Structure 1
Amino acid sequence: MKVLVADDDYVSRLVAKAAVEQSGHECIVAADGDAAWELFQLHRPEVVVTDLKMPGLDGLALCRAIRATEKNSYTYLVLVTSHGSQDDVLAGLEAGADDYVTKPLDPFTLHTRLLVALRVTSLHTDLARYRTALAEQARRDPLTKLHNRLKLSEDIERLQNSSERYGQDYSVALCDVDNFKSYNDLYGHPAGDAALQAVADTLASHARTSDGVYRYGGEEFLLVLHNQTMSGARMAVERARAAVQAMGILHSGRPLGVLTLSAGISAYSSGHRASTEQLLKEADVALYAAKAAGRNTVAEAETASADLHR
Structure 2
Amino acid sequence: MKVLIADDDQISRMITKAAVEQSGHDCIVAVDGDSAWDLYQEHAPAAVVTDLMMPGLNGLDLCRAIREREQDTYTYVILVTSHGSRKDVLAGMEAGADDYVTKPLDPFNLHIRLLAAQRITSLHADLAKYRTALTKQARTDPLTKLHNRLKLTEDLGQLHSRSDRYSRDYCLAMVDVDNFKRYNDIYGHQAGDAALVAIASTLAGEVRQSDGVYRFGGEEFLLVLREQTAAGAEVVMERVRAAVHALQIEHSGDPDGILTISAGVSAFADGHRAGTEQLLREADLALYAAKASGRNRVTLASTLSQGVD
* Cross-structure match for 1:289: 289
* Cross-structure match for 1:175: 175
User: By how many angstroms is 1:270 displaced?
Assistant: 2.1
Deviations 1:166-200 (A, max 9, x none): 22111110000011111111111001100100100
* Cross-structure match for 1:155: 155
User: By how many angstroms is 1:148 displaced?
Assistant: 0.5
* Cross-structure match for 2:35: 35
* Cross-structure match for 2:18: 18
Deviations 1:69-125 (A, max 9, x none): 111000000011111111111111111111000011111111111111111111111
Question: Secondary structure of 1:8's partner?
Answer: coil
Q: Rate the CA distance shift 1:303–1:6 in 2: closer, same or farther, 3 A.
A: farther
1:194 matched to 2:198? The reply is no
Tell which deviates more after alignment, 151-160 or 71-80. Answer: 151-160
* Cross-structure match for 1:272: 272
* Cross-structure match for 2:203: 203
Deviations 1:222-255 (A, max 9, x none): 0001110000000000111111111111111110
Q: 1: distance between equivalents of 2:160 and 2:153? A: 10
The amino acid that maps onto 1:199 is I
Deviations 1:132-171 (A, max 9, x none): 1111111110000001111111111111121112221111
Q: 2: distance between equivalents of 1:129 and 1:230? A: 40
1:69 matched to 2:69? The reply is yes
Question: Secondary structure of 1:77's partner?
Answer: strand
* Cross-structure match for 2:46: 46
Q: 2: distance between equivalents of 1:125 and 1:137? A: 18
* Aligned pairs for 1:224-235 within 5 A: 224-235=224-235
User: By how many angstroms is 1:35 displaced?
Assistant: 0.9
Question: Secondary structure of 2:225's partner?
Answer: strand
The amino acid that maps onto 1:269 is A
Deviations 1:244-291 (A, max 9, x none): 111111111110100010000001112211111111111011111111
TM-score between the two structures when normalised by the length of structure 2: 0.97
Q: 1: distance between equivalents of 2:174 and 2:81? A: 63
Q: 2: distance between equivalents of 1:125 and 1:303? A: 53
Question: Secondary structure of 2:302's partner?
Answer: coil
TM-score between the two structures when normalised by the length of structure 1: 0.96
Q: 2: distance between equivalents of 1:36 and 1:303? A: 63
1:123 matched to 2:123? The reply is yes
Q: 2: distance between equivalents of 1:60 and 1:48? A: 12
The amino acid that maps onto 1:166 is Y
Q: Rate the CA distance shift 1:110–1:303 in 2: closer, same or farther, 3 A.
A: farther
User: By how many angstroms is 1:303 displaced?
Assistant: 7.3
User: By how many angstroms is 1:212 displaced?
Assistant: 0.5
Runs of 4+ residues deviating >4 angstroms: none
Q: 1: distance between equivalents of 2:224 and 2:302? A: 19
The amino acid that maps onto 1:217 is G
Tell which deviates more after alignment, 125-134 or 159-168. Answer: 159-168
Q: 2: distance between equivalents of 1:149 and 1:87? A: 52
Q: What is the percentage of aligned positions where both structures have the same residue? A: 69
* Cross-structure match for 1:237: 237
Q: 2: distance between equivalents of 1:225 and 1:194? A: 25
* Cross-structure match for 1:258: 258
Question: Secondary structure of 1:302's partner?
Answer: helix
User: By how many angstroms is 1:302 displaced?
Assistant: 2.9
The amino acid that maps onto 2:68 is A
Question: Secondary structure of 1:73's partner?
Answer: coil
| Number of aligned residues | 305
* Cross-structure match for 2:302: 302
* Cross-structure match for 1:85: 85
RMSD of equivalent CA atoms: 1.2
Q: 1: distance between equivalents of 2:180 and 2:102? A: 72
* Cross-structure match for 2:103: 103
Deviations 1:3-48 (A, max 9, x none): 0011111111111111111111111111111111111111110000
1:139 matched to 2:158? The reply is no
The amino acid that maps onto 2:192 is G
